[in-house]
Amino acid sequence: MSLICPICHGALSLVDNGVACPANHRFDRARQGYLNLLPVQHKNSRDPGDNAAMVEARRRFLDGGHYAPLAKRLAELAASYNPARWLDIGCGEGYYTRQLADALPQAEGYALDISREAIKRGCKRAPQLNWLVASMARVPLSDASCQLLASVFSPLDWQEAKRLLAPGGGLLRMGPTRGHLMELRQSLYDEVRDYDDQKHLELIPEGMRLAHSETLTFNLQLDSSEARADLLAMTPHGWRASAERRAAVIAQPCAVTVAIRYDWIEKL
């Protein structure tokens, strides 16, 4: 175990029903099995991260299998790098985390999100992992302790990523390309804002490099109004677009393009 105290950064050891550091900061394990390593002074709000409704929408949509090809490719790539210890950083409710765990049965796995609602659900998917409520800007794992970090549709603190990775390890990042959900965006907005899906490469810190990149694209038919509503709820479009446009999207079956980019960014 390479957990560190989020308050003093001392090593955490297992005690009773939780963990403690040499300075006797203690963190109990929740009934569901996760550790809450987000001290109150590190919270920006009472309940940071996605709320229960957003988490449930994402769980229903992903469990419907709509993004199964994305999870399958993520797991294949992770298995090819064969890490001894890995962390899913910003893991949400654990759909992709479970696929990673299945692909890496011999590795020590950690999953982290700031949303307690998300982590509560994640624990049920893969109880063998170490599930953590914690901040992505202050990850409670020791320096150079991971060979693989997974970041799936998640913001990222690049300096934290670099700190956590062992030399030769890497960040497996999965994010949208400019064509992702284009039809949905065209239905929701008068003008679809273009964005540079390589912009994150400018943020790669010194001492890390892009070693592999690929894109996975497929068409997704959404016949169920619940699936369309859930897709809206789990993206920023669920609150950016007008209520009228959202209602129109939910009312009609549609096909959308899924276009996702995978990057492997190595620590030198």
Extract the annotated binding site for S-adenosyl-L-methionine.
67, 93-94, 180
Helix extents (H) in 64-128:
68-81, 95-103, 116-125
Q: 175 forms bridges with which residues in the sheet?
A: 261
User: Which residues make up each annotated binding site?
Assistant: 5, 8, 21, 25, 67, 93-94, 180
Question: Residues 155, 95, 254, 245: is their CA dihedral positive or negative?
Answer: negative
- Give the pairing of strands 165-176 and 208-222: unpaired
Residue whose C-alpha is closest to residue 129's, from 100, 113, 144, 108: 108
Q: Which positions make up the binding site for Zn(2+)?
A: 5, 8, 21, 25
Find out whether 89 and 155 touch, Cβ atoms under 8 Å.
Answer: no
Write down how long the chain is.
268
What is the signed CA dihedral for 220, 224, 229, 234, rounded to 10 degrees?
A: -40
Return the DSSP state at 64.
T
Sheet containing strand 165-176, strands side by side: 35-36, 130-133, 108-113, 85-89, 146-152, 165-176, 254-267, 208-222
Tokens 């490469």 belong to 201
Place of tokens 């960014």: 265
How far apart are the C-alpha atoms of 146 and 111, rounded to whole Å?
12
